[in-house]
Amino acid sequence: MSRIAVIDADHQEEVNLPNNNCQFSAVKIVTLLPSLGMAKSIKERHEQQLTDEEVLDDFAKTSRNNHNREVDTYLVFSKFDNSLSKMPHVYFTQKFTKDNDLKGFIGMEFIENIVVRDISQNMDPDELYEAIDALAYLEAKSLELNDEEKRKVASNPIPVIYPPLIHATAVSKMIQEMYATAPELEPAGKVLETMTRDFVDLELTSTLNEELGMQDVFVHGDLWSANLIWADTANGLSLSGIVDYQLAHFGCSAEDLTRLFISTMSGKDRRKNWERLLGKFYEYLQKYCIGKLPFTLDQLKESYRRMFPIAGVLLLPTFGNVSEENNVKMKDLLSEKKLALFEDMLFFARRNQDIRLSTNNLVST
């Protein structure tokens, strides 16, 4: 968990501020004291029986590692153009170390008049151009990193962090709980809950590129609508930043793109526009890549289809964090979004299962 503080910083050394008119800095401070409610929630979903102390120890270790990963990410990519990457300008940081296990923070630019649009708000597909442009830029630049820079941000934490909480049994329970309160989800949900052992595959984030012949690229790892920071300008909303790189790693481009599309668009718009937006993303990638492209557009589209079910799984908890009480419009919006997600998770899970069975049959003959 983190807390954000706004400070009036008196810089003792010269700092290259992107906005000389702003005297404030935003400081992201890691807190290692989660509430008892969070500990209880983690225990209930954990695959193993753990004591409160064990849960909190694991949480603290994960929080420290995630913070250090985010610091390394900002430092490694600081040599590139922030106006294109949409990474915040970072002024000062403190990592956790063997001798410092309590104080971790990141001091970054303070952006005024920001707007955060969570999963309860839909965006127009064309509004995502800025985001996919930034993703393409980062992926292209990640191919230019030297071995030492890449080593700092390459390892994939997802198959390590999530399995105790996101496993087949827990996901089946989540699906059941969701369709129990939303009958329209039941037809797809009842089938999905029987297939979780097939598609709840977190290792896919590490293995899919090799399977499809794609090159690893830098990915955000936890990209969804709430991690996009928008600035309210005279010309409307403009993407000002992409934040929270605690799960950043080298992996499959589709990890970010699936979660971005699911969380930001209505089900109808996502279904209609996902291939077009992937094509636009690929145009940006071609623009920014200096050498050989890391994959083809066809490979990217196939990776999107393969990654979709597990991307949906990782976003399911975000729907539970939104209160629909006394808001009919929001309830209808989320109902459409969840129904489309359930149906498409089922569609792609079945499709991918058929492909694996077909491939296994070919190998065995």
d(CA 357, CA 345): 18
Name the strand (E) or helix (H) holding 41. helix 36-45
Q: For residue 292, give the 3-state DSSP assignment.
A: coil
Which secondary structure element, helix H or strand E, spans residue 184, and what is its range? Answer: none
Q: pTM for this one?
A: 0.92
Cβ neighbors of 99 (< 8 A, separation 6 or more) are: none
Q: Let me know: does 89 contact 82? Beta carbons within 8 Å.
A: yes
Q: What angle do CA 321, 69, 107 make, to 5 degrees?
A: 80
Q: From the CB of residue 362, how many other CB atoms can be counted at a distance below 10 Å?
A: 8
Q: What would the two tokens of residue 90 be?
A: 């970072």
pLDDT tens-digit profile, the chain (365 residues): 688 888 876 666 665 555 444 566 889 998 766 545 555 666 666 656 677 777 778 888 888 999 999 999 999 999 999 999 999 999 999 999 999 988 999 999 888 889 999 899 999 999 999 999 999 999 999 999 999 999 999 999 999 999 888 999 999 999 999 999 999 999 999 999 999 999 999 999 999 999 999 999 999 999 999 999 999 888 889 999 999 999 999 999 999 999 999 999 999 999 999 999 999 999 999 999 999 999 999 999 999 999 999 999 999 999 987 766 658 888 899 999 999 999 999 999 999 999 998 887 765 55
Exposed e or buried b per residue across 310-326, where buried means at least 16 C-beta atoms within 10 angstroms of its C-beta: bbbbbbbebbeeeeeee
Contact assessment for residue 6 and residue 26, using Cβ atoms and an 8 Å cutoff: yes
* Residue 307 amino acid letter: M
Instruction: Report the C-alpha gap between 129 and 284 in whole angstroms.
Output: 9
- pLDDT at position 20: 43
Domains of the chain plus CATH, in order, are: 1-110 (3.30.200), 113-359 (3.90.1200)
Question: Residue 353's closest CA among 200, 235, 212?
Answer: 200
**Encoded tokens for 234:** 């005279």
Provide the phi-psi class of 236: left if phi over 0, else alpha when psi is between -120 and 50, else beta: left
Rama region for 325: left / alpha / beta (φ>0; ψ in -120 to 50; rest): beta
Return the DSSP state at 355. H
Q: Are 96 and 61 in contact (CB under 8 A)?
A: no
